[in-house]
A and B are shown apart, each in its own frame.
Chain A
């Protein structure tokens, strides 16, 4: 029994324990009992993943898990290095979120259903990367989907939009399941096997591979949340309870990425160029659209959900660039791009967890989710504010966080990948650099807005004014995540070397003080050295400042100057909507806001205004232009088809007769 096998069995056992604890424990102790078991489940997943990633092997075979299908090969749970990495990511996020949930869960999400579903969800999510064949993959996938769908519905009594969000989510998730089923069916038929190793060895090519690639990648990017199949993300993530949103956003969408990597690296390696172009187009478009919508969103969770779309878009862009470069024989840079994708995966998991958990803490403490009604929280919730701030730095890719390292590696791959011989690559590189740069700039704006308006200055509503710091499990979870964001950013060398070994990349080295050296592109990054240099330069500055402060301390006055003679009302401060207003104007065509201005005048004179009402709403353009017309069309077709059923029993009997006749004819011919 190898360590990996022990780990897998431990996960199954702990999940069962968590479900039992959820069902059996008394309501007062339920969160603690089930939560602790779930934390252990996450940790077990992380440890197993780490062992598998660093080369541990092991397999668990379950003979025939489904009835009526005796000729199926046994279910295999055998994580390889790539699967190990994703299991590690999923397990770590799960552990932190479960710790948060111990303090956070209350109401319907802390019920027996809530905790059981959470344990099942986490188990499914951690077993997806471990699956070694089609059936176990799809089983784990469905477990993950069902568990998360139940959890999204948890607060449907409190908010009305939760029901529609859950509906959108379930439909999109099952759409992706059907696409995956179809894709895997094509692959299984073409190769004659259902386990991944055999499919990879079968070397399928040509049209079948193309069809399978399109089906599978469409299915996986639906789960990952790329445009145009992202419409469930901004609805489901805000509707779910915060610890569930954290896991969904930081770990579940990574399973979609894992799927894409599985297809591209293991099942159908060496595909034609148009695969890379397709993924590049989808990824770049998603990154830009996602961050644009995030920068104009005023609901904090909606902002974070769209930011997930952006990050997933960047990851897929990196993967696509790697595919394109590998075809043009620039394999060293292709390896760098692939490592960039994995670095983005890890860093996004770290900071997105903290961001969603922070948003949950804020909602728990203030009862508000709208940035326009928050503010002043840095004084009343210092730990949450600090953790959220660090995560915002990571999301905006500023030094010295893991987000910065990931973005740096991606840009190095793009800048050095341009080969003039292949015109496709030569054209794609500058456009991609421009899109990644614009995305980075908009991400900067988005997270300055999220942190600055949410946490700085004065509270804009009663809820924000009466905020208090949250309980210790929540604080501990957020702190662990924030520390991870910084530590991963300070040690990029060992991190990138490990990730490079996962995908067999060459030319990734550690150099200097845990720094990262990429000899293939001639680039070196050492964040610790940079930080030491900055600290060294800042020391004389701080000394001067501190001495000056002691000599003449700051005097507190009641009113800010604000241009002279200002009221001190906190409503005079900028809100998130006003912060993003220049951007809405610049990108008017892409966002298409609906604006409504009503001016009512005094009865006596048309020149005196009684009341002005302004309404602006920004909805998802893809949803409005693509999905609603499609749904309306389907509804119309359905209405027409309904006319076939007019209630006459003779017509129904006629249908049965016709069906019987046709079947007889077909069978005899």
Chain B
């Protein structure tokens, strides 16, 4: 694969990752956030496929397919089932208003860029130059985890965090063995499924999944 095309593909997929994460912080609608998760999954799969084709590591192509199935199809489907079950379609009152959250996204991206300079310097190349975006994605996932009240939003934040970590792993290592990726992804899927069940139980028991109300532990 020619270098120029590889750079273009990298730029397109990582740009899409960052843009979808920003839109998730901006929008209040949970259905939109879940759809953006699917977009992120597609972008991540594209990223993996591009790296595989460029580095001639054909084992990354099944990994890309796995990522696509898991992150672009399965998890959004599970999360939309949770959304339908709990009836939560909008994040009404986030803890941080969207304007401040967007300013924090800009600052986190800057921080990611500053912090990743040593990583980029170790192995300069188009792939490692895109590492700051992965770090930014992880930080934005954390931001979503911190500033949302609904359990579903926090699930979405958790998945974004995982996407960011996966992006950094692929960009720096240039490939994670299929077994490792399989293990990590199944772990995440398991967590999401368990949390889905828990969320439904919370909804039944307390009538609402606003985490600010659930601050006292009970038997």
Contact = CB atoms under 8 A, between A and B. Distances in A.
B117 interface: yes
B100 A423 contact: no
A427 interface: yes
B132 to A, nearest CB: 11
A439 to B, nearest CB: 16
Contacts of A426: 113
Contacts of B100: 589
Contacts of A427: 110, 113-114
Q: Is the interface of A mostly helix, strand, loop or mixed?
A: helix
A423 B113 CA distance: 9
Contacts of B110: 427, 431
B110 to A, nearest CB: 5
Nearest to A434: B106
Contacts of B117: 423
Nearest to B99: A586
- Say which size band chain B's interface belongs to: under 10
Contacts of B99: 586
A589 B103 CA distance: 14
Interface in A586-638: 586, 589
Among B99, B110, B117, max chain A CB count under 10 A is at B110
Contacts of A423: 113-114, 117
Interface in B82-141: 99-100, 110, 113-114, 117
Interface residues of A, number: 6
A427 B99 CA distance: 21
Nearest to A428: B110
Interface in A421-440: 423, 426-427, 431
Nearest to B100: A589
Contacts, number: 10
Contacts of B113: 423, 426-427
Interface string A547-589: 0000000000000000000000000000000000000001001
A344 B117 CA distance: 35
Interface string A322-345: 000000000000000000000000
B155 to A, nearest CB: 28
B103 to A, nearest CB: 10
Interface string A279-306: 0000000000000000000000000000
A586 B110 CA distance: 24
A426 B99 CA distance: 24
B203 to A, nearest CB: 33
A285 to B, nearest CB: 15
Nearest to B97: A589
A431 B107 CA distance: 9
Contacts of B114: 423, 427
B45 to A, nearest CB: 30
A50 B117 CA distance: 49
Q: Name which of A423, A431, A586 has the most chain B CB atoms within 10 A of its CB.
A: A423
Interface string A392-427: 000000000000000000000000000000010011
B95 to A, nearest CB: 13
Interface string A110-122: 0000000000000
Contacts of A586: 99
B116 to A, nearest CB: 10
A427 B117 CA distance: 12
B99 to A, nearest CB: 8
B111 to A, nearest CB: 9
A13 to B, nearest CB: 57
A21 to B, nearest CB: 57
A427 B132 CA distance: 13
Nearest to A430: B110
A73 to B, nearest CB: 47
Interface in A182-236: none
A309 B114 CA distance: 31
A192 B79 CA distance: 73
A589 B100 CA distance: 10
Nearest to B117: A423
A383 to B, nearest CB: 43
Contacts of A589: 100
A586 B100 CA distance: 10
B210 to A, nearest CB: 23
A586 B114 CA distance: 30
A431 B103 CA distance: 11
A426 B117 CA distance: 12
A248 to B, nearest CB: 35
Interface string A355-381: 000000000000000000000000000
A427 B113 CA distance: 9
A426 B110 CA distance: 10
A431 B110 CA distance: 9
Nearest to B116: A423
Contacts of A431: 110
Nearest to A424: B114
B73 to A, nearest CB: 37
Nearest to A587: B99
B56 to A, nearest CB: 30
A423 B115 CA distance: 10
B50 to A, nearest CB: 24
Interface string B193-218: 00000000000000000000000000
A423 B132 CA distance: 13
Nearest to B113: A427
A589 B95 CA distance: 13
Nearest to B110: A427
A431 B113 CA distance: 13
A423 B117 CA distance: 8
Interface in B130-166: none
A427 B106 CA distance: 11
A353 B149 CA distance: 52
A208 to B, nearest CB: 30
A478 B117 CA distance: 54
Nearest to B103: A434
A591 to B, nearest CB: 14
B101 to A, nearest CB: 13
A586 B99 CA distance: 9
A419 to B, nearest CB: 14
B195 to A, nearest CB: 32
A188 to B, nearest CB: 39
Interface string A497-527: 0000000000000000000000000000000
B117 to A, nearest CB: 5
A285 B100 CA distance: 17
B100 to A, nearest CB: 7
Nearest to A586: B99
B153 to A, nearest CB: 22
Nearest to B115: A423
B35 to A, nearest CB: 29
A423 B110 CA distance: 10
Interface string B65-88: 000000000000000000000000
Interface of A: 423, 426-427, 431, 586, 589
10 contacts: A423-B113, A423-B114, A423-B117, A426-B113, A427-B110, A427-B113, A427-B114, A431-B110, A586-B99, A589-B100
Given A423-B113, A423-B114, A423-B117, 7 more contacts: A426-B113, A427-B110, A427-B113, A427-B114, A431-B110, A586-B99, A589-B100
Task: Return the 3 tightest CB-CB contacts between A and B, nearest first.
Answer: A423-B117, A427-B110, A423-B114
